[in-house]
Chain A
Amino acid sequence: MNAPPVITAPVPAGLAEEAGQPASAAAGRRPAGWSGLWLGLVLPVAIALGWEMAIRTGLIQGRLMPAPSRILGTLWGLAVTGELWMHVQATLARVLAGFALGALAGTAMGALSGTSEVMRRIMDPTLQALRSVPSIAWVPLFLLWLGIFEASKVALIAGGVFFPVYLGVAGAIEGIDRKLVEVGRVFRLGRLAMLRRVLLPAVLPSWILSLRAGLGLGFMFVVAAEFMGASEGLGYLLVDGQQMGRPDRILAAIIAFALLGKLADGVLVALTRPVLRWQDTARSRL
């Protein structure tokens, strides 16, 4: 029998924290850079160029289908006058407020449903049924209950965010690997320690995915919300464009929605990437 090797290596920095430095091999993996961004622009730019050429060559009429250059001009005009930022700010505030409420409620109820069989049996059938109700069906009720101002809009968005988060959290908890929980049991973790050290990290990837899905739905629901008598917001810009017969304003608002949604998702991904850096499949999922 060989004698155990003498320890010569210094205590690695990774010991300082449970979740230490990423592996050198993993550190070599860089996130999608500019090349990825440019690739993502190929399709919309190609569509815009084709569209522009079709209008300029008279292949299609530009009255109801304005050229991209005109839409960009409208967008630029709205940005320069500050009107765009006012609408973006209003929409963003509503989405964030609704997202915060919906994500909080979805996480809490998803956790209850996932951890307690009794609670799941009580809550799940009702919530699954409510999930099937179209968002627009809630509008009259929310207007009656909460009035025409911000509360009804935020409530509608929160409702949209709630369901994917609820389903994601409940499903993730039900799907936690029993074998990992047993590791915690072997080391006699109490309920809180088990929650903090095993259960929460285990559901984190699914929770973040559900938040992303919820945020996306939040941006969909804000349109319906801003159709409910808003005087500002990108949804209002859509209605305004329709009433004034300005398809360029409608399309400018749609583009602003797309950019804002993508930006918000990007921020969420960037904020949550550090806590998922251990994942083997992080890049493909994010």
Chain B
Amino acid sequence: MFVVERLTKTYADGTRALHEVSLSVEAGEILAVVGGSGCGKTTLLRLVAGLDRASSGAIAVDGEVLDGPHPAVGIVFQEPRLLPWLTVAGNAGFGLMELPRAERDERVADALARVGLAEQAGRWPRDLSGGQQQRVAIARALVARPKVLLLDEPFSALDAFTRASLHEHLLALWEASQPTVVIVTHDVEEAVALADRVVVMRPRPGRVFETVTVRSGRPRDRLAPGFEKAKRRILNALDRSLKTPADKPQADAGGAELWW
């Protein structure tokens, strides 16, 4: 289980990016985080990834408190961040250098095959499209077999068709090892298509406003009435989160549930 306990981040200039955010995510669950600009979504992921230090609060995976980057946590950024001097295979295996070469090669080949890039293993990042580069980034994060995979708006720069295709690739990879996934997105449809639960955050300072549980098997039919209902529920929560005064406590952290 992945737990965030009263996580607060205040920057040196006094800006409070996050205020006592608490989350509890079951192993293998996919949690989406949505919210308006400045609600601390990316800050939350950076704290969990160990790239920034929290002002207070705690992060734990399976009872182990994290203090900095940890092998149990992998992250895919908004942009692919591939190292241009490494091939596709080199990038995918970047986090596996401590493994014996045979095992590393096997894992990388497996991950690249799953994201449909086995034939591109020897190519340079410059030769790939944006969607292909992001697939390599996902493979790079998952090949290290983290318990928690963080995704920071990983598909936001891609067109709708590529995004839908990457959703399938992501779910295929997730099914293989079933890590806990926390995905930050501004696309409500993406959140409903992927997540078991959607956390709506509110800004200034960032905190959890409402949690919506989505109970449906995958793959999800985006044209189903339940899908549309879930989207409306989240959009409504987003709307209310932006209208709520900053000092008012969160509306519903317990969660509303949706089935279809």
Contact = CB atoms under 8 A, between A and B. Distances in A.
Contacts of A185: 50-51, 69
Chain A binding site: helix, strand, loop or mixed by DSSP?
loop
A142 to B, nearest CB: 40
Interface string A1-28: 1111101111111111111111111100
Contact of B81 (A9, A12, A183): A183
Interface in B221-250: none
Interface in B85-114: 85-90, 93-95, 97, 101, 104-106, 108-110, 113-114
Interface in A173-200: 179-180, 182-183, 185-188, 193, 197-198
A85 interface: no
A282 to B, nearest CB: 10
Contact of A14 (B94, B121, B172, B218): B121
Interface residues of B, number: 51
Interface stretch (B55-63, B71-79, B181-189): B71-79
A15 B93 contact: yes
A279 B84 CA distance: 7
A201 interface: yes
Contacts of A8: 113
Interface in B126-153: 126-127, 144
A184 to B, nearest CB: 8
A4 B124 contact: no
A21 B88 CA distance: 10
A11 B89 CA distance: 10
Contact of B104 (A15, A198, A202): A15
Contacts, number: 132
A1 B168 CA distance: 8
Nearest to B113: A7
A4 B172 CA distance: 6
Given A11-B109, A14-B89, A14-B90, A186 B124 contact: no
B157 interface: no
Contact of A15 (B94, B121, B127): B121
Contact of B109 (A3, A7, A18, A278): A7
B164 to A, nearest CB: 13
B219 interface: yes
B159 interface: no
B160 interface: no
B12 interface: no
- In the A-B complex, list the 5 residue pairs whose CB atoms are closest, starting with the nearest: A14-B122, A23-B123, A12-B121, A18-B90, A9-B118
Given A7-B118, A183-B81, 11 more contacts: A1-B171, A7-B114, A12-B122, A14-B121, A15-B89, A15-B121, A18-B93, A19-B85, A20-B89, A20-B90, A187-B69
Interface of B: 49-51, 69-71, 74-75, 77, 79, 81, 83-90, 93-95, 97, 101, 104-106, 108-110, 113-114, 116, 118-124, 126-127, 144, 168, 171-173, 175-176, 218-219
Interface of A: 1-5, 7-26, 179-180, 182-183, 185-188, 193, 197-198, 201-202, 204, 278-280
27 contacts: A4-B175, A5-B113, A9-B118, A14-B123, A15-B104, A16-B105, A18-B87, A18-B93, A19-B85, A19-B87, A19-B90, A20-B87, A20-B121, A22-B122, A22-B123, A23-B122, A26-B123, A182-B77, A183-B94, A185-B50, A187-B69, A187-B94, A188-B69, A198-B83, A201-B85, A278-B86, A278-B124
